[in-house]
Structures are given as structure tokens and as C-alpha cells.
Structure 1
Amino acid sequence: MAQNGTAESGATEERPALPLPRPVTVQEIRHTKVSERSTGARLCSCSSSVSSVRLQLCSFYKFGIKCQFRQKSKARTNTWCSPQMFIDNEWRTSSRGRTFPTFNPATGVKICDVQEADKEDVDQAVAAARAAQQRGSPWRGMDSSSRGRLLHRLADLLERDRLLLATLETLDTGKPFLQSFFVDLEGSIKTLRYYAGWADKIHGKSMPIDESFMCITKHEPVGVCGAIIPWNFPLLMFMWKIAPALSCGNTVVIKPAEQTPLTALHVGSLIKEAEFPPGVVNIVPGFGSTAGAAIASHKDIDKVAFTGSTEVGQLITEAAAKSNLKRVTLELGGKNPCIVFADCDLQMAVEEIQKGAFYNQGQCCTAASRVFVEETIYEEFVHRSIENAKKIVIGDPLDPQTSHGPQIDRQQFDKIMDLIESGKKEGARLEYGGRAVGEKSLFIQPTIFSSVKDHMRIASEEIFGPVQCIFSFKSQKEAIERANNSQYGLVSAVFTASMDRALSVSAALETGTVWINCYNALHTQTPFGGYKMSGNGRELGEYALAEYSEVKTVTIKLSETI
């Protein structure tokens, strides 16, 4: 056999395709090797003869995952209990005794009730994070290489539980299972490993002053970092927040979205298993108006990172300013333009842009929602877009054939349908879709509008659903001006065969990211963030480290000179 995978004759070797991963249907409970009393490892509040159940899986019966417990004694009974919040490496119930439900958006069935964090619980989490951040603590005294090893260990545990986490993510969000497995989990693991590698490579500098002084800089952790994550990519955004924060030596209090708390809580059990010191990561599921507001306004939190709507981002900035002027990193909304020139690879442009428009049911801040097409190819682009959209398979997110799932909840569903109706009323041409699938479900057909004008609501408001708006343009100057005519500036894309044109147009576009002949090409190594009202600061890449570190200048007076 030749080394390049060909047979000795030179013919290409035919290898059987690897089987696709399948969702978890039976989960065997594994046990940690240390007692529950010393680990606080339970995720549920039910009583059990099993001393250290790592996962709260008894509720999994509700959504079809059968549990098998590895023990010689009697089988575990089907007990119902509520996932708890994770504070100081312990599972805790709500200080006010409250819970909230989380639902499977594909079926409408309640998965379980979750303990609800309030201001008092956030206070406890912040106190634990502050204690873990104090000088002399195990975390603060840990060498940077050891911090990196802990992040690698957490990545290993995500690899081990990848199928389970992908199943949970699909059940909680409604996104297709293969997307959860290959995109969300893959991205989460890569993010942890990338920042694990950075942990012992964050260096200061020395600067020449004159012969009497020496000056050096040190990079120190900001302190206690709050994080508020969205429901569209719960696990991935969790890792985007904690990985650079922990790499720099910070501690974290993180609030998952109330719609999708389950994978975050499972990660709490993995944080414990990876042997992070108590208080380093604290997870407080709850609502934005209570737990989220408490994080944004807390005077003992040094920095807050938020991914979500521009409106909420403004409230968080205000609360941060009024409390203690804490640092704020915001990744907010987008109304992202694509400019398609006549010389591009047309079919490739159609496919890439529709991936951007309909990926994750359009529930992406990066959604390709404004498509400007040169008028000489406009009709053909619209026709091919319609034909391409017909290939999208709507169905059960756990079915590997499904490529399009439900919207997250009724509120988002109603907002999207209202905007679709506004497009019809304002004169846009509905080319495809535009209807709900099923009487009471949250599924919406991929929707394409042509003849869209810039003043229409669908052209200016962030839809956050599977709606593609196609405009025409005559000149490059016109396309750039209209693309920039938005309060948002998150991402954009240019499709052309001319690299000269691509680079000149990308220089003129007012967005934090420009993709050329591709879309949604996000990589852990590259920074991500927006201009204008799409936010501030950067996530991912080396640039994110600056958001989680303080630079200290140390100037030394030299007693001797030559």
C-alpha cells in the first residue's frame, strides 16, 4: 500500500465511509472514584444509594434516554428531580426555592425543571469566585502550564461525553444533531485546546527608557469575570467565554440562557471531574432580568462578557457603568450584507450564502440576511436560490437526515412570522417558504424574498430566523453604500473572481469580519467581533486574551549606571 492512500497500481483505494454518529438513547451512569461528600458531584437533588452519580440523568426518561446504573444492587428507580446550580464546586438549590422549566422546542415537551438562580445565588457565586481569585489560593498560585493542563483535561472530558452533550444540545435547542456533534462540540473542544496552549505563553515586554530606568510589563488576570451566554449556541458560547478567561487566570460566574441550560450544567460536572479548584467556574442558570442583571450590576465582578441582542447589550453596558465601571465585551446583533458580483462562481455563492442565511434555522448573529446581487445575474441568482432551498430537509432534529429544525420558542416564532408578514405587506416578493410547518409546532420553512427595498422592516431589523432577503444593485459604489447603511457592523461577505475588487470592497465595508468567497468561516484562531451597534471587544484568537488581562507597568530605578 502506498503511503498516500493509493494502491500499488496507482488506483485510488476505495475505503468504506465512516458511520455517522447517532444520538444517545441509553446512558450508562459512570461513577467518579471519590465520594460524593468530598466532591459534591451530584447534579440532582434526589436521594440515591449510588454515592457519586456524576450526571443528573433520572430526568432523561422524560425525553427518551434510558438510564442504566452500573451497580450490583437493585436498579435505580425512575425518580424525577431538578438540575441544580453549580457554585464553589458544589450543587446547590435556589436560595428562594424556585425552579423554571426547559422544553424541547421540536416537540413542546418539558424536559425538566431547573433550579433558578436569583441575586442571592449570584452573590454566593461571586463570593466563591472572589475567594478562588485571592492571592495564596490554589488557583492564583497555580503555575500557568498547570492551568493549561486543566483546560486540556476539560477538553478530554468533552471528547469523552461528546455524544451525550450533542444529544443534550439538540434536545434543548432543537438544532439538528449532526450540527451539534460536528460543529458545536467540535468548536467547543478546539476552543479549549487553543486557549490551553496559550496559558503559559502570555508574556509581557521590556521597554528601553534610558540608562537610569528599566521598564517591564506584566499581564495579570482581570479578576472575577461574569458571562451571560445566549440560547442559539449554548455550549460553544460557554467555551468562547470561559476558555480565554481561565487561560489568563481569571475566575468565572456564568449564566446560561434560561431556554437552554442543560449542557452548561453538565459541564459543571466535568469542571469538578477535571479537578479545577473550587470557585474557579460557577454556573447560575436563571433569567436575564434577575440573575443576568445581578451579574451586570455586581460591584465585585470586574468584567462582564455578553452575547445576545443589542438592546440587552445596552442595558448591560449601563449597569456596568453605574456599578463599578467594570469592563464589558459585547457580541451583539447583525444585519449582515453579502455583495455578489457578476464574475463570481454563481452556484458556489448561492450555496455559501444560503448556509449563512438558514444555518441553525437562521438563529445566528452572523446570518446572511441582506444579499446584494449585481443586476445582470439577479434573476438567475434568485432562481438558483429557490432550487437550492428546496433541498433543505425539515424534520426531527435527532434524525441524521434533518438539516432544519424548529425555532427556539413561541416568542421568537411569532416575531419571525410577523416580520415575514410585514415583508409581504410592504411589497417584497415572496419567492419561497414563508409558512409555518404544522399547526402548533415551532418549525418555519426557509423563506426567500426578492424585490426587497432598503426601507422595509425585513431589510433593516434583525429577524433571527430563516429569512433571506435578496436585493439588486448596479454599481460597486452603490453596493458598498447600501451594505454600510445599517446600525450593525458584525460580518459581511464578498463574492467575486477578482481579488483586487474583493480586497478593495472589504476595506470599504464597515464590519468586524469580511468573508471573501465563503461564509460563516469562523476559526478559533481568528478574532471575532463587531463594529457600530454589533458590539465591542473581540472573542477568539490571541486578541481575546487582551479582554481578560490587565497590563501592569513596572518601572525600576537603577542604582548604578555604566
Structure 2
Amino acid sequence: MDDVIGRIPKQLFIDGKWQDSADGSTFGVDDPGNEQRLCEIADGQSADAEAAVEAAVTAQESWARTPPRERGEILRRAFELMTERADELALLMTLEMGKSLKESRAEVIYAAEFFRWFSEEAVRIDGRYSPNPAGGGRTIVTRQPVGPCLLVTPWNFPLAMGTRKIGPAVAAGCTMIVKPPQLTPLSMLNLAALLTEAGLPDGVLNVVSSTSATRIVNPVLGDARVRKMSFTGSTEVGRKLVEQCAPNLQRMSMELGGNAPFLVFADADLDAAVQGAVTAKMRNNGESCVAANRFHVAEPVAEEFTRRLTEKMAGLRIGHGTEEGVSVGPLISDGQRDKVIELVGDARDRGATATTGGEPLDGKGFFYRPTVLSGVPEGARILREEVFGPVAPITTFTDEDEAVALAGDTEFGLVGYLFTRDLDRAIRVGEALPTGMVGINTGLVSNPAAPFGGVKASGFGREGGHEGIDEYLDTKYLAVAVGAH
């Protein structure tokens, strides 16, 4: 483990060079599984952010002219390097974030797939040519890189949320300034080194770690030469960033909070529904914007579903992510664990019952037991707020209309899940749910080949799929006069 940490760059990455912060300051990165210090890394300042912008702006013109095939080949080499080093990348992620090694390996493979997908999309950036309907001219439509971008990534998926933004930016021909999360910055620093090894030119990717997001974001968004921002994080922060982008009218992609409903109809395959529930709830220790947050179950099967889910959740092994057989690691911080304790306490005070779990673990590390809450009343905060932890609150419904109404009773609209054997109902309810994504008889929707994103307070823009590269391209129309022969 010490060898892995020792090999990770610990400075800022600006214009192809590793360097200390402007004032030489550093901050610590800790292991949430034992609360031990892993290392110290550079704490970026506003001057460093400004230097990163200059590097990105300077590199933009030549990078935009780089042939799409070359850009794609860089991404392809990065994909291959990530695949070759999956075990080491997974261990680093587990140490800084806490998830089990099994989950970390799955994230590495998922993250690498964005590079492979967008390596193929780079050569498929298209346009069109057509005669004017009235004659006398031609219409040419072409697509060009939007320009330098600010990418702000979250702590819960420290590698995949980076590749999901960097992949399409590289493919489109955009340069980048990346602000990685304070809690889990090491995976991004390591990714910058890997992309350099894959052949990414100096200045195309710049990474500025910092204890202050404001210190980095403000000078970057204040520079009109930066033309786009992509952010993954809370809705509260997202709203503020939208305001900051307004003066310079920078394009935005906002992947914000979620409050995913999980609907189980009376005709559902309960074994599949329970397995889907564990997948949708417990991925990433429950610290995921697409985690199932509210379980609405048809009354006739609610008792049996609760019994089976309780049995599954109670059987999950909890411990440090590097331990063999562990499937549930720690939460990211004591503050996050306190939030889970608070929401569970509120539900129990209102009459909910914990059929398993319902408490933190004693000792080092920010652990909370996998929990199932039954009889959760309508007014419980956990039905309104994103719990971001291993807690499954269960309520019941009587018919389809009530299920859809309950599912949509939130400001968020990222993803919903539903389980039913009725194809008509699956399509009908899937189309009725006010979410950007729907999982039908599956608890896993993330897919590099599909558009990821939400509606309402869950944001706008899409990442992944054919749509993902559109966020980094401007459309240009050329009007061409063609005279008579």
C-alpha cells in the first residue's frame, strides 16, 4: 500500500509540468477506513488556477487542429493503460475513498470504458451539406470544439467521474482545467500522469487540487476565455455555479443531486427485485447520486420484500475495503456518517422500525451498518433528502397511480427504478416518471454508451453515449453562395 501511495504525483499538474502550489502549501489526504493520513499534496491557490487557464488557452488552438484520429488514439492508449493497471488503480481508490476492492476494480473498468467509447466517438463528429430549399446556395453545418473547459469532479467516484468528462473533452478537441475533490484527489492526479504517458500534449489537461473550490473556480469562471463548465455534485452548489457562469454565458453541464424512487409492483419477481434493490442501494456504500433513496412497495408484497431485503442487507460484510470478502466500506467522513445518523434517527422518532442495522460501528473509520427501515411515515426527512449512505427506507402504495405520484414527489429527477413483469406497465410507468433515466427490472443504469443525466433539480446536460460529446461541441453554419453556371 505504501508503494502505491509513494508512486502517486503529489503536486499540481499545469502545462505538462508537476509543480508546487504558488505559496508552497499542502493538505492531507486520509483513509476513511482507519482515519490514518495517506499523504500530503499541493494545495492550489488562485494564482495556480490562473496559470492553468493560461496553459489551457495557449494549447487550445493547436489541440483543436489535432486530427480526430490522433485524439482518439490517445484515449485508446489511456484505456489500455488503465486496463493493464486496474489492480493498482483500484487499490489507490479504496485507500482514499473507502469502497471495497471489488467495487473499486469495477469502477476502474467502468472509468476506462469512457476512454474507449470516446476514442471511437472522436472520429464520428459529423456535420452536413445540403442545397438551399429555394436554390441559389448551399448550407454547410460543421461542429467545432467549444474551447477551454472547467471540469469539477466529486469525491464518490474519483476516477469514473473524471474520465466521463475528460474523455469527451479530449475527443472533441477541448483543453481542460480540472478541480478534483479535496477528499479523494489522488486518483485524478494519477490519471493525469497516465494520460501524459498515453501522449496527451502539454497544456491540454491541467489539474489543480485545493482545499478551497472557490479559490480555484472563481478565477477560472471569471475568465471569459473559458467557455464551458461541467460539474458533478450537490444541487445547492450547482445553483451557485449556474449564477457564476451567467456573466460570461459559459456553457454548462450540471449533474446534480438525486432522490431515486425504487418501485416494486405486486407482480414483480421478488428475488430479482431484492437483488436489484441491493445493487441500486449499496453500490459505492450508498454514496451515489443514482442510489435508490426511497423504496415504494405494493402493499400485497411489502412484508415479504422487506423480509428478503433485510436478510440480504444483514448478510453484507462490513469492514476496511482492502479486507478479503468485504462488500461495505466506510462512509467518506464523520460528517457524512453524522448525516446518516441524523436522518435515520428522524425516521425512527416518527415511527419507523429498523429491521436490520440502524447504527454506526464503534472504533476507527466512518462505518455505518447496512440498514432497512420499515413503516417509514410520509413526513420523514429521509424520504425528502438524499441520504448518501447504506439505508433503505420502505413505504407502501396501493395502485399504479399512487406509485407514480409518490415517485415524482420530489424536486429531483435523476433516475428511477421499477420492477414488474407487465411490459405495458413497465413502459407506461417508465415514461411517466419525471426522471432523466429509468432502470426497468435492473438496479444498474450506468453505461458509457448511454446518456447519463437528469431533469428538474438534478441538473441538465448528458454524459456518455452519442450525446456526451455534444456538450463539448459548438455548431457552426456556413452559408455558401453558388451562382448559376
- Normalised by the shorter chain, which TM-score bucket? over 0.9
Paired letter, 1:414: D
**Structure 2 residue 310 is the aligned partner of structure 1 residue 386:** yes
Q: Which AA in structure 2 matches 1:449?
A: L
> Partner residue of 1:315?
240
- Of 53, 70, 74 in structure 2, the residue corresponding to residue 150 of structure 1 is 74
For 1:427, which of 319, 331, 351 is the aligned residue?
A: 351
Q: Which residue of 2 aligns with 1:474?
A: 398
Partner deviation per Cα, 1:462-502 (whole Å, 9 max, x = no partner): 11111111110001001101111100000001100010110
8 Å Cα contact 1:178/1:400 also seen in 2: no
Q: What displacement does 1:350 show?
A: 1.0
- For residues 366 and 271 of structure 1, the distance between their equivalents in structure 2, rounded to whole angstroms, comes to 28
Q: Is the 8 A contact 2:180 2:207 kept in 1?
A: yes
Q: What is the match of residue 37 of structure 2?
A: 110
Q: Structure 1 residues 410, 296: closer, same or farther in 2, change over 3 A?
A: farther
Q: Deviations over 1:116-164 (max 9, x none)?
A: 1121111111110101112xx2x23311111111111111221232221
Residue number in structure 1 paired with 2:472: 548
Alignment check: 8 A CA contact 1:436 1:444 kept: yes
Query: How is 1:241-252 mapped onto 2 (pairs within 5 angstroms)?
Result: 241-252=165-176
Higher helix share: 2
Structure 2: distance between partners of 1:283 and 1:291: 11
Verify: 1:91 aligned to 2:15, yes or no.
no
Letter in 1 for 2:483: S
Give the share of equivalent positions with the same residue, in percent. 36
Per-residue displacement from partner, 1:95-132 (whole Å, max 9, x unpaired)?
Answer: 12211110000010001111011211111111101011
Match of 1:533 in 2: 457
The TM-score, its normalising length taken from structure 1, stands at 0.84
Alpha-carbon distance between aligned partners in 2 of 1:177 and 1:201, rounded to the nearest angstrom: 35
Match of 2:407 in 1: 483
- 2:328 aligned counterpart, secondary structure: coil
Residue of structure 1 aligned with 2:146, choices 206, 222, 227: 222
Amino acid at match of 2:107: D
Pick which of 299-308 and 206-215 moved more. 206-215
Q: Deviations over 1:377-416 (max 9, x none)?
A: 1111111111111110101201230000000011111111
- Establish whether residue 202 from structure 1 lines up as the match of residue 87 from structure 2: no
Counterpart CA distance in 2 for 1:207 and 1:514 is 37
| 2:174 is the counterpart of 1:174 | no
How far did 1:275 drift?
2.0
Name the larger-Rg structure. Answer: 1
User: 1:411 maps to which residue?
Assistant: 335
Name the aligned partner's letter for residue 22 of structure 2: S
Give how far 1:437 is off: 1.0
Maintained 8 Å contact 1:255/1:283: yes
* Counterpart in the other structure of 1:292: 217
Q: Deviations over 1:418-473 (max 9, x none)?
A: 11111111222222111111234300001111111232101101111111111100
Aligned partner of 2:481 in structure 1 is: 557
Shift of 1:25: 7.1
Residue 160, structure 1, aligned to residue 84, structure 2: yes
Number of residues of Structure 1 aligned to a counterpart in Structure 2? 483
Query: Of 51, 56, 60, which residue of structure 2 is paired with 1:133?
Result: 60
Report the secondary structure of 1:199's partner residue: helix
Contact 1:454 1:460 in 2 (8 A): no
Counterparts of 2:410 and 2:447, CA distance in 1:
26
User: For residues 556 and 477 of structure 1, what CA distance do their matches in structure 2 show?
Assistant: 54
Name segments (4+ residues, structure 1) moved above 2 Å.
Answer: 24-27, 292-300
* CA separation of 1:455 and 1:514: change in aligned 2, threshold 3 A: same
SS in 2 for 1:540: coil
- Give the superposed CA RMSD: 1.4
Q: Give secondary structure in 1 for the equivalent of 2:109.
A: helix
| Cα distance between partner residues in 1 of 2:468 and 2:3 | 39
Report if the CA contact (8 A) 1:341-1:495 is conserved.
yes
Of 272, 278, 292, the residue aligned with 1:348 is 272
Amino acid corresponding to residue 344 of structure 1 in structure 2? A
Q: In structure 2, give the amino acid aligned to 1:238.
A: G
Q: Contact 2:319 / 2:328 at 8 angstroms: preserved in 1?
A: yes
Paired residue for 1:253?
Answer: 177
In 1, the alpha carbon distance for the partners of 2:131 and 2:340 equals 58
- The 1:214–1:297 alpha-carbon spacing in structure 2 relative to 1, beyond 3 Å, is same
Q: Give the drift of 1:26.
A: 5.5
Are 2:114 and 1:191 aligned? yes
Secondary structure of the structure 2 residue equivalent to 1:57: helix
What code does the residue aligned with 1:308 have?
G
Unpaired stretches in structure 2, ≥5 consecutive residues = none
Secondary structure of 1:550's aligned partner: strand
Q: Pick from 491, 494, 498: which aligns with 2:422?
A: 498
Distance 1:368 1:281 in 2: 34
Q: Does 1:123 align with 2:50?
A: yes
For residue 227 of structure 1, report the CA deviation from its aligned partner.
0.4
**Paired residue secondary structure (2:355):** strand
1:302 positional shift:
0.5
Task: Work out whether residues 418 and 426 of structure 2, in 8 Å CA contact, stay in contact via their aligned partners in 1.
Answer: yes
Corresponding residue of 2:164? 240
Q: CA deviation at 1:297?
A: 3.8
Could you tell me how far apart the structure 1 residues matched to 2:28 and 2:14 are? 20
Once residues 269 and 161 of structure 1 are traced to their aligned partners in structure 2, the CA distance between those partners, rounded to angstroms, is 13
Match of 2:207 among 283, 293, 318: 283
Contact 1:293 1:316 in 2 (8 A): no
